Structure 1
Amino acid sequence: MKNIGLYFGTFNPIHVGHLIIANHMVENSNLDEIWMVVTPHNPFKKKSSLLDNHHRLEMVFKATERFDKIKPTDIEFKLPQPNYTVHTLAHISEKYPKYKFNLIMGEDNLKSFHKWKNYETILENHNVYVYPRISEGKIETQFDNHPKIHPVKAPIVEISSTMIRNGIKDKKNIQPLLSDAVWNYIDEMNFYKK
């Protein structure tokens, strides 16, 4: 049975930090593949800086095409919105019964994980792989030494998509923070310039 890690994000845009984490997780854990789950635009929220779903998916495709173990997926695009991770996990597990799905999250998200919808159900049925982040605050003690939560020592990457969007808007050279294919796509499409 293939062991798949699901790495959720808006990827607006996907940057080298996302790739560093995804590649490190798949190469330094028992995961066979990482699926980059592009989170769709929530129709109930107005967020003008968020590119259309298909553009963000295209950038993830371009960023990951050289990595055999990292794949883009639009699985959440077809689910009713607003959506919750617990529903995505149920849907994807039903669609791919021969795969075992696991959640990937940053340490900062683990701190609020107890507030997620049906987080207990997630932990009953799935493992959670956690990568380190520089953040303040304490992780809930209920997750200390939890058998389903697996910290993975990964590089701490402090690159954000917001920083990249602002850099492009301010006409700064942010090219080293993106794969060439993603940079070329953003440049050709004139994204984030306003």
Structure 2
Amino acid sequence: MDTSQLSTLNSQLIRTGIFGGSFSPIHIGHLALANYLCEFGGLDELWFLISPQNPLKKREELWPDDFRLQLVEAAIKEYPNFKASDFEFSLPRPSYTINTLDKLKETYPNRSFELIIGSDNWANFQHWKDYQRIITENKIIIYPRPEFTVEDKDLPENASIVNAPLFDISSTFIRESLKTGKDIRYFLHPEVYKLIIKHYPKR
């Protein structure tokens, strides 16, 4: 297959961003970034890939898998370019990105998957399992995070920086605020806030 044929084939694939994370819980920072990548970044779809166990996080930091999935589904149901995915729930644990990407490409050959990570994660990317193969075999979209600057000239060919708005919000901040009784409804999608207050009023 020559270069022109490969380019034509790639253009026919559905550009699908993979936004993996614990989403414990999903908040407006996640949603605004994802919205930006679809509307301004050229993605056809963006999948929120809920991780059942991030190898770099402690298990006790996570809310139950099914509840986190439910929160994502509630947050994105009105936007057709988003999808909540429990794809990693059936994969061996802990979940490693390289294994997930390999399986996604095998399962959905009509899609071109692009990995979405923050500049903070890019700074520690060398600690990821088979990180060199991830870089070589996959497109990577890097979005800005506070205090972690990335220069285009320092990136490999398959990686690019997106100038998305910067939201300095974390799920840890959300959980800690809820534990102390703060009313932070405007940091969350209204449906997500309702579900959390209903099922986890003291978390």
The two structures have a TM-score, normalised by structure 2, of 0.87
Higher relative helix content: 2
Aligned to 2:197: 187
Gaps of 5+ in 2: 1-12
* Alignment pair present for 1:125 and 2:132: no
Q: Which runs of 5+ in 1 are unaligned?
A: none
**Shift, 1:92, TM fit:** 0.7
The CA deviation string for residues 7-28 of structure 1, in whole angstroms up to 9 with x for no partner, is 0110001000000111111111
Matching of residue 20 in structure 1 with residue 17 in structure 2: no
Alpha carbon RMSD of aligned pairs, Å? 2.0
Query: Superposed, which structure 2 residues align to 1:53-92 within 5 Å?
Result: 53-92=65-104
- Which residue of structure 1 lines up, in the alignment, with residue 3 of structure 2? none
Deviates further, 118-127 or 170-179? 118-127
Match of 1:162 among 157, 163, 172: 172
> Quick one: distance in 2 between partners of 1:20 and 1:4?
17
- The question of whether the paired residues in 1 share the 8 Å contact of 2:51 and 2:95 is answered with no
Name which of 138, 158, 163 aligns with 1:148.
Answer: 158
TM-superposed CA distance for 1:124, in Å, is 2.0
Match of 2:124 among 112, 118, 123: 112
Partner of 1:174: 184
Map of 1:34 onto structure 2: 46
Q: Structure 1-normalised TM-score? A: 0.91
Equivalent in 63, 68, 84 of residue 51 of structure 1: 63
* C-alpha separation in 1, matches of 2:53 and 2:134: 23
In the alignment, which residue of structure 1 is the partner of 2:6? Answer: none
Asked if the contact 1:4/1:99 (under 8 Å) is kept, the reply is yes
Deviation at 1:123, TM superposition (A): 1.8
Distance in 1, matches of 2:170 and 2:135, equals 28
Q: 1:20 & 1:27 partners in 2: Cα distance?
A: 11
Partner of residue 110, structure 2: 98
Q: Is the 8 A contact 1:41 1:53 kept in 2?
A: no
Distance 1:46 1:29, change over 3 A: closer
What is the Cα deviation at residue 120 of structure 1?
A: 1.6
AA matched with 1:150:
S
Structure 1 vs Structure 2: percent identity of aligned residues? 37
Taking the aligned partners of 1:58 and 1:78, their CA distance within structure 2 comes to 17
Q: Residue type matched to 1:97 in 2?
A: P
